[in-house]
Amino acid sequence: MSSRSTSYGKCFLCGETLAKNAVSRHLEKCIPAHESAQTAKGKPERLFHLRVEGYEASFYWLDLEIPARANLETLDDYLRAIWLECCGHLSAFEIAGQRYEVSLEGVDFPFYDERPKSMKSARLEKILSVGMTFLHEYDFGTTTTLNIKVVGERIGVLEGKGKVRLLARNYAPDYRCKVCGEPAEYLYTYEYPYGPYCEEHIEDKEEEACMPIVNSPRAGECGYTGPYDESLAFEEKQPA
């Protein structure tokens, strides 16, 4: 897969297929067109539109909407749930030179010049603004790094208290078996970069290094096999 090729995804409001670089313009019209009557009755608040993508694999991407009053822990929980969580690893954000981690009261941080701040006490409206970019890291061993940009903001209503809304995301990448060229289902992690293989040609590989291909930048890392909540999985391919 090449991060330089055009990536396409699906709008989860209207179902339309979109090029990655057209999503923001599309959502400017699609979001107000799909405000439900139930949502319209809620209390309007400040909402951030975030674009999240794989730091080294930008063909994986999510467009999210989150209340500005939410904290970083809310965003971290969502990213873990939809893309990252495998074994309960630690995670962190790097924002404007400041590191934010989970709350670890009484724990020393000898490798940092400045003690990280707590995600739970960091409200987005206090630390983010439109145009900012920042990083998220999950697992400090086999690390998956995400790049996040604050694309925009608006005043609106999200259904459910403290919810994160998925606006759009990439279709599952079309990995091809390196032996036969048929659609691949596994990554072989004893090769670097990880080699994609179909069901037939993975059979002679060492089992512990065969990981299923899933639609996430975490694919192939540690024990990741997709989200625990199956409703968050999205393995749909781009329509022909």
- pTM equals 0.92
The pLDDT assigned to 34 comes to 87
Residue 232 included in any domain: no
Residue 231 included in any domain: no
Residue 212 pLDDT exceeds 70:
yes
Residues 6+ apart with CB under 8 A from 235: 172, 214, 215
Position 70 confidence tier, pLDDT thresholds 50, 70, 90: very high
Number of structural domains found in the chain? 2
- Residue that is last in its domain, among 138, 170, 202: 170
pLDDT in tens, 104-163: 554 445 555 568 999 999 999 999 999 999 999 999 999 999 999 999 999 998 876 668
Residue 236 included in any domain: no
* Whether residue 204 sits in one domain with residue 121: no
Range of the domain at 209: 174-226
- The dihedral sign for the CA sequence 47, 129, 217, 20: positive
* Whether residue 153 sits in one domain with residue 47: yes
- Residue that is last in its domain, among 124, 141, 170: 170
pLDDT in tens, 14-30: 999 999 999 999 999 99
